[in-house]
Amino acid sequence: MISSGEMLGRLEGSYTHAVIAFLDDSGYPVSVATSFAARPERGVVLLDEVAGEQVAPPLDREVNVIFSHIRPQPGQGYDERRYVSLWGTLQRAGGRLELTPRRVQHWDEQEMTFFEFSERGVPQAQRYMAQLSEETGTQVKPKLSFGWLFLRATRLPFLTATAVPVFLGVAIAALRGRFDLWLALLTLLGGACVHLALNVANDVFDTMSGADQANVNPTQFSGGSRVIYYGLLSMRQMVLIMVGFYVAGLGIGVYLAATRGWALLWVGVAGALISIFYTAPPLRLVHRGVGEITVALGFGPIMVLGAFFVQFQRYTFEAFYASLPVAILIALVLYMNEVPDRAGDAAAGKRTLPVRLSKDAVLTGYAVFVGLAYALILAGALTGVTARPVVIALATVPLAIGAYRGLRDSYDSPYALMPTMAKNIQLHLFTGMLLVAGYVIAIIADASLSNPPIFLR
Amino acid sequence: MGILPEPIEELLNTALVGELTVVDERGRPVTHPLIPMYDGEVIYLTSSILFSKKLEHIKANPKVSLSISDPEAVQVEGFRRVTIQGDATIDDSDLHSGWERKVLPLWRKKEPAIDFFLGKRVALPLFFERGIIELRPRRAFLWEEGRTDRPPQVFEVVGAAR
């Protein structure tokens, strides 16, 4: 936030002219452009006199003086939007009009992004729709097409977090001799249902706790779907969607446990409880700074072991070990996505790690855990605990370095951080899929060679 | 040829931004930068419900003025400035797509990138819930060369305030 003196000091370099607006005797506004000079040391703006009786600014009533700027972009529109709006009364001084501002409003998209500026307008939008509903007698609410609304409400693109561990569990089982496509698809569907239910539950409980309202810097990767807050869907509709996905996901889980072995129930129940109590009271795990561990468990060992068990009908150390890098990387997705949310989360009492830790500690944590993920991949391949070709997953190291640098450089700028958050999601996706690819290479080598070389086993 | 003198219509048809002044609930002027669009009779402006205070103000007091004052935002031979006083009404009967039918073709001419942003409606759903401001001119002040240190030409609009 800049002071009004500082703002007056910037006027001359930022704007070419002023527009003085006032009400004429018939009550119509008159707005007229003129030249100006700022005197920040005195806290005043000097405006050139305007000729013509009908358009001469009055000295006996309040005027609004606005300074507005855009930069035209031919064939596109414009950018560099900014304005400063001042209110006060004018007095004549040395042949000019002198304004001592009593009230100031301003916006500069280079200081506050258009997204944040818009987000701060949501309460006004809600008021307007409520008033319009009252005037018209029908409920006025914003709309999106069904497809976009479903995508937004469920945060469908985040399903990669489920696909990676399920594919990995299935691939490990396939290398060890068991593969059933129908069961693999059913596992994926069940996992996706629980994941989507978790996403919806997260929005339901974030709206209830006030976290959505407190966050004015949501991005496409953080801040939730906001469909309830925006009025696109009601709380009741979201609860119904949440329950629907949980019923479908848990139903598939029970079917798989009944047909493949009741030992699956342990990971299934653990996954469901983690999913529900991630944001739901009384545990609200994400509010207690254990969201990352919870997500790591759910989208790491639980998903990989569950998918593996459905195929193999028992648990192995290999499946557990292979899940660990995936677990770490998905936890780091959440960890980085919480960085731009930290002010809103703190206001809502959500004590996530970026809320609790300093910037340096967050950066160090990121670097240490990315390093640990790669160390586990390398150690697993070298010792033969995992298939050796998974070492190809180290190819994503440059992506990890880029993500770390982006986090360091854009830590305090939510929208500048967006490309880095995308990179961090790619880091999980690409590393996970390369782990799967490593297993697929081993499967192909095993099937096509009578005695595959050690680096392909 | 519309209801306003040609030099003013040319400004309305090319200006990328104008300053709309409305009257707030305490009778004070409040000015908002907006894109003006013109169909020969009515000047259209549009506002997202995110920034809808101005719509409330106009509903309570329809008296408004619109200035086109920024030399960088207009592409005309021989720069000039204009202020148009008039009466505004709000069309918010269909916030979701009413503005697309009524003003999007005019908007697109000035800001072609709007189609790109509209394609990303899912990212900013409330921004694209919009009311339409319809300004019917009563009087216009024109300053040749943009010189407001000289008295303006004044035009009373025939058939105003119907």
- For residues A2-20, average pLDDT: 88
- Distances, alpha carbon A400 to alpha carbons A262, A326, A414, A423, A426, in Å: 39, 14, 19, 8, 9
Residues A123 and A86 grouped into a single domain: no
Residue A28 has its nearest CB partner, among B85, B96, B146, at B85
* A70 at B interface, C-beta within 8 A: yes
Query: Which pLDDT value is given to residue A347?
Result: 79
The answer to which of A210-219, A221-230, A297-306, B111-120 has the lowest mean pLDDT is A210-219
Residues A188 and A53 grouped into a single domain: no
Per-window interface: B 44-83 vs A, CB < 8 A: 48-53, 55-56, 61, 63-67, 69-73, 75, 81, 83
CA A243 – CA A324 distance, rounded (Å): 30
pLDDT in tens, A233-261: 999 999 999 999 999 999 999 999 999 99
- Which pLDDT band, with edges at 50, 70 and 90, does A114 fall under? confident
Residues A197 and A75 grouped into a single domain: no
Q: How many residues does chain B have?
A: 162
- How many Å lie between the alpha carbon of B141 and the closest alpha carbon of chain A? 9
| Contact flag B129-A125 (C-beta cutoff 8 Å) | yes
pLDDT in tens, A158-185: 999 999 999 999 999 999 999 999 999 9
Please report residues of B whose CB lies closer than 8 A to that of A36: none
CATH number at residue A82: 2.30.110.10
Nearest to A290 by CA among A337, A215, A367, A351: A351
Which residues have a Cβ under 8 Å from the Cβ of A385 and sit 6 or more positions away?
A317, A318, A321, A379
CATH class of the domain whose range is B6-107+116-156 = mainly beta
Residues A344 and A386 grouped into a single domain: yes
Query: Which pLDDT value is given to residue B160?
Result: 56
- For residues B112-138, average pLDDT: 92
pLDDT in tens, A356-372: 999 999 999 999 999 99
Residues A255 and A188 grouped into a single domain: yes
- How many Å lie between the alpha carbon of A257 and the closest alpha carbon of chain B? 39
* A142 at B interface, C-beta within 8 A: yes
Residue A191 has pLDDT above 70, yes or no: yes
Residues A67 and A117 grouped into a single domain: no
Residues A97 and A123 grouped into a single domain: no
- For residues A141-146, average pLDDT: 94
CA B88 – CA B46 distance, rounded (Å): 12
pLDDT in tens, B132-153: 999 999 999 999 999 999 999 9
Complex confidence, ipTM: 0.94
Please report residues of B whose CB lies closer than 8 A to that of A154: none
Query: Which pLDDT value is given to residue B162?
Result: 46
Residues A268 and A316 grouped into a single domain: yes
Please compute Rg for chain A using Cα positions: 29
* A27 at B interface, C-beta within 8 A: yes
Dihedral angle sign, alpha carbons of residues A272, A278, A280, A281: positive
Residues A182 and A214 grouped into a single domain: yes
Residues A241 and A370 grouped into a single domain: yes
- Which pLDDT band, with edges at 50, 70 and 90, does B123 fall under? confident
* Number of domains making up chain A: 3
Residue A146 has pLDDT above 60, yes or no: yes
For chains A and B, what is the number of CB pairs under 8 angstroms? 189
Query: Which pLDDT value is given to residue A223?
Result: 74
- For residues A20-29, average pLDDT: 96
Query: Which pLDDT value is given to residue A1?
Result: 54
Query: Which pLDDT value is given to residue B44?
Result: 98
- Distances, alpha carbon A90 to alpha carbons A346, B28, B122, B149, B152, in Å: 44, 14, 45, 17, 21
Residues A202 and A303 grouped into a single domain: yes
Contact A275, A201 (CB under 8 A): yes
Residues A218 and A338 grouped into a single domain: yes
Per-window interface: B 92-151 vs A, CB < 8 A: 92, 95-96, 110-114, 121-127, 129, 138-139, 141, 143, 146, 148-151
pLDDT in tens, B29-41: 999 999 999 999 9
pLDDT: which is higher, A413 or B136 = B136
| Contact flag B69-A19 (C-beta cutoff 8 Å) | yes
The parent domain of residue A249 ranges over: 146-456
Per-window interface: A 291-350 vs B, CB < 8 A: none
